[in-house]
Amino acid sequence: MPRRAIAFGLLALLIGIPTSVGLASSESELSIVSWGGDYADSQRKAYFEPYEKLNPDTRLRVTDAGGEAVQMLRDQVKAGKVTWDVVDVTAADAIRLCAEGIATKIDHDKVLAPAPDGTPASLDFGQTMISDCMIPEIVYSTTVGYRTDLLPQKPTSICDLFDLTRFPGKRALEKRPINNLEWALVCDGVLPQDIYEVLESKDGVERALRRLDSIKDHIVWWTRGEEPAELLASGDVVLASAYNGRLFSLVAKPDANVAMLWDRQVFDFDGWIIPKGAPHPEEALKFVRFATAPQQLAAQASYIPYGPARRSSTTLVGKHATLGIDMAPFMPTAPDNAKTTLIYNYDWWAAHRDKLDERFKTWIGENTDP
In the prediction, which pLDDT does 367 show?
Answer: 66
User: For residue 369, what pLDDT is reported?
Assistant: 53
Q: How far does Cα 267 stand from its chain's mean position?
A: 11
Coil, strand or helix at 163: coil
**What's the residue count for the chain?**
370
Q: What is the pLDDT of residues 310-326, one digit of tens each?
A: 999 988 989 999 999 99
Give pLDDT tens digits for 99-137. Answer: 999 999 999 999 999 999 999 999 999 989 999 999 999
Give the pLDDT confidence score for residue 5 in this predicted structure.
40
For strand 239-243 and strand 135-147, is the pairing parallel, antiparallel, or unpaired? antiparallel
Amino acid sitting at position 176: R
Domain boundaries, the chain: 27-138+270-324, 140-268+335-364
Local structure of 269: helix, strand or coil? strand
The residues, ordered by sequence, that sit 6+ positions from 15 with a Cβ below 8 Å of its Cβ are none
Strands 219-222 and 86-90: unpaired
Same fold yes or no, 27-138+270-324 and 140-268+335-364: yes
140-268+335-364: CATH number: 3.40.190.10
Q: What confidence score (pLDDT) does residue 147 get? A: 98
pLDDT for 16 equals 36
pLDDT under 70: residue ranges of the chain: 1-27, 367-370
> What's residue 164's pLDDT?
98
Topology (CATH) of 27-138+270-324: D-Maltodextrin-Binding Protein; domain 2 (3.40.190)
